[in-house]
Amino acid sequence: MPLRFTLRQLEYFVAVGEAGSIALASEMVNVSSPSISAAISQLEQEFGLQLFVRKHAHGLSLTQAGRQFMVQAKIVLQESEALNRLADNISGFVQGPLAVGCLLTFAQMVVPGLRRAFETRYPDVSVTQVERDQSTLIEMLRRADIDVALTYDLDIPTDLTFLPLAELPPYALFSENHPLAQRATVSISDLQEHPMVLLDLPLSAEYFQSLFAQLGTKPIIAERSRDLAVLRSLVANDFGYSLLNIRLNSDMAPDGRKLKYVPLSDKLRPLRMGLVTSQGAQNVLTVQAFIELCRETISGETVSGIKLRASVGSC
């Protein structure tokens, strides 16, 4: 009996179901809206089901039948991907898609170089990347939206696996005019009387505040930002110091003002940079190959030659 659908049609259907509109789904899968609309119509005609309710002002919403169809369509697509990966593992050939997630705070300096090195070594692999906060990366791993995430060891759930790559202690970031900027090292007690610019991302903010709690004090939070570039410019313009764990490869803020990196003298819990995978993902040949590349290129000090941490005398 011939198949009544194609995997591509199911992919477009799932994209529309998740996006709620054909236009948004078109952007997600990089296919024209007419092609997606035609695929949906063909599925509905072939199965004799109305999968969506068309709402002119609010896009599309799944019908009851559409919701049931969506669940099974996702299973079929996942099983299809599993078959492709099984074939790759049996053949020993690294190929196919690889979806990589990365924490927002260091994606700009880590992911592009890793991706270029991986695609150069394995030209038959197609890598896609996303940059998200920690909580979103964990959700995406659980939904199998990504295969692996490069992030910190912050509240990793027990159903996921963390593979450590580098240990990164926190450091202080100052403007060049800050009264502590010329110190070789500073302590939390030195910082507690000065205003702070907090990196206000989920889990990261809690981590930085916990460094003060360890010593029974609290920071004076004057500014908050979820954007690392904005945070660096706020620091450079004397709105306060900040704390970070990864040293960007520039002593300049985005607006051109000078920054100073100063290590902390306290014995504080570092963050570990590493890879997070779902159970069984490490058995996938493409994921294995990416893990090995990361182990080769990321150390406690550098990633692909880029310095990761602040050290005494580095400023």
> Tens digits of per-residue pLDDT, 55-64?
765 678 889 9
CATH of the domain at 136: 3.40.190.10
Assess whether pLDDT exceeds 60 at residue 310: no
Q: What average pLDDT does this structure show over 171-195?
A: 96
In a domain? residue 315 = no
More confident residue, 90 or 228: 228
CA dist., res. 55 & res. 208, Å (int): 46
On the question of pLDDT at 248 being above 90, the answer is: no
**pLDDT-derived band at 302, boundaries 50, 70, 90:** low
- Strand partners for 100: 129, 148
- Same domain (yes/no): 144, 284: yes
> Which tokens in the block code for residue 148?
């692996």
* 257 and 183 housed in the same domain: yes
At which of 36, 57, 88 does a domain end? 88
Check whether residue 29 and residue 144 sit in a common domain: no
pTM, rounded to two decimals:
0.66
Q: Are residues 40 and 73 in the same domain?
A: yes
Same-domain status, 174 and 259: yes
Per-residue confidence (pLDDT) for residue 7, from 0 to 100: 80
Least confident stretch, 9-18, 42-51, 53-62, 244-253: 53-62
Residue where one domain finishes, among candidates 67, 88, 109? 88
Percent of the chain scoring above 70 in pLDDT: 88
Domains: count for the chain: 3
Within this chain, do residues 103 and 185 fall inside the same structural domain, yes or no?
A: no
In a domain, 311, yes or no: no
Residue 95's pLDDT is what? 75
Q: Which residues pair with 298 in a beta bridge?
A: 303
Residue pLDDT, tens place only, 234-244:
999 999 999 99
**pLDDT for res 174:** 97
pLDDT digits (tens, 9 = 90+) for 2-16: 556 788 888 888 888
Which CATH number belongs to the domain containing residue 46 in this structure?
1.10.10.10
Kindly tell me the burial class for residue 162, based on how many C-beta atoms sit within 10 Å of its own C-beta (0-12, 13-18, 19 or more): middle
78 and 55 in one domain? yes
Is residue 312 predicted with pLDDT exceeding 60?
no
Residue 313 has pLDDT above 60, yes or no: no
Domain coverage including residue 225: 170-263
User: Do residue 181 and residue 258 come from a single domain?
Assistant: yes
pLDDT, average across residues 18-37: 85
Quick one: pLDDT at residue 260?
A: 95
In which band, very low, low, confident or very high, does the pLDDT at 23 lie, cut at 50, 70 and 90? confident
Higher pLDDT, 102 or 23: 102
Tell me the average pLDDT across 62-91: 78
Look over the chain and give the mean of its residue pLDDT values, rounded to a whole number. 86
Q: Which H/E stretch holds residue 297?
A: helix 285-297
The average pLDDT across 118-130 equals 91
Q: Are residues 176 and 134 in the same domain?
A: no
- How far apart are the C-alpha atoms of 234 and 175, rounded to whole Å? 9
In a domain, 313, yes or no: no
- pLDDT in the model for residue 247: 81
User: Residue 307 — very low, low, confident or very high, per pLDDT cuts 50/70/90?
Assistant: low
Is there a single domain that holds both residue 18 and residue 62?
yes
Give 1's pLDDT tier (boundaries 50, 70, 90). Answer: very low
- Kindly state the average pLDDT of the residues 221-238: 96
Q: Are residues 22 and 77 in the same domain?
A: yes
Angle, helices 285-297 vs 64-91, to 10°: value is 70
Task: Work out the average pLDDT over 210-223.
Answer: 93
Same domain, 101 and 49: no
Q: 68-94 burial, b if ≥16 CB within 10 A, otherwise e?
A: ebbeebbeebeeebeeebeebeeeeeb
Confirm whether 312 is domain-assigned.
Answer: no
The pLDDT value given to residue 184: 95
pLDDT of 188 above 90: yes
Domain boundary among 88, 116, 131: 88
